[in-house]
Homo-oligomer: A and B are copies of this chain.
Amino acid sequence: MDFFAAVEARRSVRKYTEKLVPADTIHKAIDAALNAPNSSNMQTWKIFWVQDKQKKAALVEACFSQGAAKTAQELVVFSVDRKEWRNSQKAILAAMGPNMPKEAHSYYTKLMPFLYARSYLAPIKWLLFNTVGLFRPMARSPWDMRGVNEVCIKSCALACENFMLAISAQGFDTCPMEGFDEHRVKKMLGLRCHERVVMVISVGERDPKGVWGERFRRPKDSVFKII
């Protein structure tokens, strides 16, 4: 399907029909998700396709049993684990081998650990960034682990959008849900304390009543400026 048609067709669907979604459709969308750009290629995303009946029921409940979850054929959870930076670092160093440019090597072996770990240095990082920043352009974040999570969540959201558009391009529908009990979803998935659930995305075929009217956006010139 044409890219712009997929964007146009995508709407948040609150009620699905009983039509099944082929496994291939989901897999193709996951592949598209994993092709999204992501910060420093740290690939801190973790995606769970919940098929187990009991777990799915628990997930629906954790999404407050909203129609978008309850009537969905499939539920996919996008989460981030900031500590995955270490596995990606290893994989990148192994893949690039001894011919890795020096700057890239020190980026991944020095800067990444400094930013993504060493949470006890948070106040020092803040002070360093903002002191150097007085004199020359300087990154201001992430200086603490909440900031690292923000970076990871941002990249994961890029993947979420690829996923949703890919489902749309294949003639099915989605609803991105942020209304859920993160604590219960994490428990159900066995995620650790520092991990974060970014979005639960439901998939299915839209019931005509599942779309709440025309898409509503404020006028373009209220949110977009040429300067």
Would you call A48 an interface residue if the criterion is a C-beta within 8 Å of the partner chain's C-beta atoms?
Answer: yes
Minimum Cβ distance to chain B for residue A174 (Å): 8
Chain A residues 142-199 with CB under 8 Å of chain B are 146, 149-151, 153-155, 157-158, 160-162, 164-166, 169, 176, 178-184, 189, 198-199
> How many chain copies does the complex carry?
2
Q: Is the CB of A137 within 8 A of B184?
A: yes
CB of A21 closer than 8 Å to a CB of B: no
Complex Cα distance A225/B26, Å?
12
A61: chain B residues within 8 A (beta carbon): 137
B181→A140 contact, CB < 8 A: yes
**Which of B6, B137, B222 has a CB less than 8 Å from the CB of A64?**
B137
Known: A146-B146, A157-B157; 11 extra A-B contacts, CB below 8 A, are A2-B3, A3-B3, A47-B224, A87-B222, A151-B178, A153-B153, A153-B157, A154-B154, A154-B157, A158-B161, A189-B227
